[in-house]
Amino acid sequence: MGLLPGGNGVSVAPPTRPISTPWRPICWIASSPWTRPTRCGSRTSTYIWTQEGWLYLAAILDLYSRKVVGWAVDESLERHLALDALAMALSNRRPARGLLHHSDRGVQYASDDYQKALKKDGLICSMSRKGDCWDNAVAESFFATLKAELVYLTEYRTRAEARASLFEYIEVFYNRQRRHSAIGYVSPSQFEIAAFKRKMAA
């Protein structure tokens, strides 16, 4: 495991959970992430400081491989940020109807537009219990890793600089190179390739 080049320190503000919605079973209990690829996904968002102001990152992870399959950044934490990350994930994975989509209880995920997008593609909505971040532990763990290995080590002058840095970390390092203990100390991409080869050989 290695780290991407960094700079000086940076602070990150904690996300909020301003809305209450009905609770449903969390996805890594509802289906098995080890045997059924792209059956469930987990998502949340975080804040990153730059000298131009805050930059917001939303991400969706496949719980089977821990791969970041969709993500988006923007100057605003409005629902279009969440919708952009969802659109990338759907484009990258093209999941079958019935995929379980788990998120925290943020207003952008509970918005009418977001819920309509989930229903349109046949995704089943699941949300964390009120005040319980551990329900979304996989996504929270990803952001903790991102902050420890990149964000806390880097002082971003511009949002564009932060965007480029996040792209390199997520697409080049985290998905393709960084080893993950939950999937046998290989990268998410390596884990998926191995799973595909096993399926073809069966």
Which residues are CB-contacts of 42 (< 8 A; sequence separation ≥ 6)? 27, 28, 60, 61, 63, 102, 103, 136, 138, 139
Establish if 3 belongs to a structural domain: no
Written as six digits, the tokens of 115 are 């819920």
- Comparing 168 with 99, the larger pLDDT belongs to 168
Is a pLDDT exceeding 60 seen at residue 9? no
Over range 167-195, report the average pLDDT: 95
Window from 53-57, 113-117, 120-124, 127-131 with minimum mean pLDDT: 127-131
Q: CA dist 63 to 5, 56, 86, 160, 183, Å?
A: 28, 22, 15, 29, 10
- With residue 29 as reference, give the H or E element that holds it: helix 27-30
- With residue 69 as reference, give the H or E element that holds it: strand 67-74
Window from 95-109, 127-141, 161-175 with minimum mean pLDDT: 127-141
What domain range is 64 assigned to?
27-201
Phi, psi of 84 (to 5 degrees): -65, -40
* pLDDT tens, position by position, 96-106: 888 888 887 77
Q: How many domains does the chain have?
A: 1
Q: How far apart are the first and last CA of the chain?
A: 31
Is a pLDDT exceeding 70 seen at residue 134? no
Establish if 22 belongs to a structural domain: no
Establish if 2 belongs to a structural domain: no
Is a pLDDT exceeding 90 seen at residue 26? no
Question: Are residues 182 and 18 in contact, defined by beta-carbon separation less than 8 angstroms?
Answer: no
pTM of the model: 0.77
Which of the 8 DSSP states describes residue 154?
A: -
Written as six digits, the tokens of 93 are 């994975």
- Comparing 126 with 80, the larger pLDDT belongs to 80
Establish if 9 belongs to a structural domain: no
Establish if 91 belongs to a structural domain: yes
Adjacency order of strands within the sheet including 124-127: 67-74, 53-62, 40-50, 100-103, 124-127
% of the chain exceeding 70 in pLDDT: 74
Over range 157-184, report the average pLDDT: 96
Over range 20-25, report the average pLDDT: 30
- pLDDT band, very low/low/confident/very high, at 148 (cuts 50, 70, 90): very high
Is a pLDDT exceeding 60 seen at residue 152? yes
Is a pLDDT exceeding 70 seen at residue 48? yes
Establish if 178 belongs to a structural domain: yes
Q: Report pLDDT for 173.
A: 98
Apex CA 28: angle with CA 140 and CA 57, to 5°? 30
Q: Report pLDDT for 130.
A: 65
Establish if 6 belongs to a structural domain: no
CA distance linking residue 170 with residue 69, whole number of Å = 10
Q: Which CATH number covers residue 152?
A: 3.30.420.10
Q: Report pLDDT for 202.
A: 81
